[in-house]
Amino acid sequence: MQLVQQIAFIILAGTAIWLFSRNILRIRKNILLGRDEDYSDQPGRRWKNLLLLAFGQKKMFRNPLVALLHFFIYAGFIIINLEVLEIFLDGIFGSHRIFAMVFSINLYNWLIDAFELLAISVLIACVVFLCRRNILKLRRFISHDLDGWPRSDANYILIAEILLMTLFLFFDASDSLLQQRNSAHYVFPRTGDFLISHWLHPLLNGLSNIQLHRFEKGCWWLHIAGIFAFLNYLPYSKHLHILLAFPNAYYARLWPEGEMRNMKSVQQEVLYAMQPELVPPQAGEAATPAKFGAKDVADLSWRNLLDAYACTECGRCSAACPANITGKKLSPRKIMMDTRDRLEEVGRNIREHGSFQDDGKQLLRNYITVEELRACTSCNACVEECPVSISPLEIILELRRALVMEDSDAPPEWNSMFGNIENNFAPWKFSPDERDAWKNG
């Protein structure tokens, strides 16, 4: 019987890990559809960002209470993985609490107590977050951006985490109760009661040893199967940020906040128009860029596409956006969600046909409208607020650049300004020779 359980566990674990790996490789291929950009500079600063933004959650602590609750969930995910590793090894080798045979009983008890503290903290935090989303209904959680699947996704994950932590505590409770009864199920010295789960003993006291042992094994199997299911749910969920927040923080943009990156070729043309003496002899032979800005996801950089997958859909960007606050259609969160949705669609298209086949759609206009793009004030508030260094502004600017430079689609006021800059080297309709005329008289 034990051998059958081991084989079943190995099949379950192998299948779950294979499916997860396949989906992660799919996402990686999608991200690499973007233009190449180099983010290998200043590794010291990048590791610092990784530690402060991803591990330390620096930006989250602008709201200390919410940050603390979120930190419990995050710490639970990171640290309880040691407990998951023990379950994994037990499943493969057919052992029971294998780490109790490796560590001293005191150390092992301390570890389990710490895991249980984290588990109850995660459970409480998830209940609070469910209430914030569904009872208090904060403005950024009831936005139409989240209508449909995104809103359900957030609730499903919170409920799943509550169930997983509950199963873990009941597994520990039945385990320690069996130890109190000196069950022959154990082959190592008793570990005694655990810090939190022993409060559940009264609920289990009515069970016989055989029933309690079955209950314990049921909790064990449901817990590990739930973890494998959760693992394979991540690639389809906004909670993929649990993993991608780390590379996203490492590859954070290190140039000054608010700095807009110019196209070198366009920048040079403007410079040469203002100072013709700088034009090199071979300048006329320089290749014209194939595209200006971005119309679809493949025109964006891989870093923009990583942003789209790393988005937590928390809505802090939209809550800080002045255009969104004043009722305009723009929502930076929706920009990231639309980019991810289009990228997934393009990825499916490539997998089905071997290469991308024109589907008559693109990110610009079909997913993100001109009205949204023009509402952006380029204030950088969305970038400043994002806890994982995402930049919706960069995508907006690239799409807007394509609108103006590829499609000649700009409001009359913009066209007037562009004409003045081209002819007068300034946004105003004054000849350069008359620029200082204001001081006369």
CA distance 389 to 74: 17
Positions of E strands within 115-243: none
The whole-number pLDDT of residue 403 equals: 93
- What pTM was estimated for this model as a whole? 0.85
Which of 192, 163, 188 minimizes the C-alpha distance to 175? Answer: 192
The whole-number pLDDT of residue 414 equals: 83
The whole-number pLDDT of residue 187 equals: 45
The whole-number pLDDT of residue 225 equals: 95
| CA angle, 179 then 214 then 93, to 5° | 75
CA distance 403 to 400: 5
The whole-number pLDDT of residue 441 equals: 67
DSSP string, 199-257: GGHHHHTTS-HHHHHHHHHHHHHHHHHHHHHHHHHGGGSGGGHHHHHHHHHHT---SPT
Q: Which residue intervals of 32-148 are DSSP H helices?
A: 43-49, 64-79, 81-93, 99-102, 105-131
Q: What are phi and psi of 35, to 5 degrees?
A: -60, 150
Q: Give the list of residues 6+ apart from residue 236 with CB closer than 8 angstroms, or none.
A: 23
Q: What is the pLDDT of residues 356-405, one digit of tens each?
A: 999 999 999 999 999 999 999 999 999 999 988 899 999 999 999 999 98
CB 290 within 8 A of CB 263: no
Q: Which two tokens stand for residue 296?
A: 């679809």
CB 10 within 8 A of CB 3: no
Residues in the chain where the model's pLDDT stays below 70:
184-192, 265, 281-290, 441
Q: What is the 3-state secondary structure (H, E, C) of 283-311?
A: HHHCCCCCCCCCCCHHHCEHHHHHHHHHC
The whole-number pLDDT of residue 370 equals: 95
Q: What is the pLDDT of residues 247-296, one digit of tens each?
A: 999 998 888 877 888 777 677 777 777 777 777 766 555 556 667 889 99
Q: Which two tokens stand for residue 432?
A: 């350069």
The whole-number pLDDT of residue 80 equals: 76
Residue type, 106: N
The whole-number pLDDT of residue 400 equals: 93
CB 237 within 8 A of CB 25: no
Maximum CA extent, the chain: 105
Coil, strand or helix at 4: helix
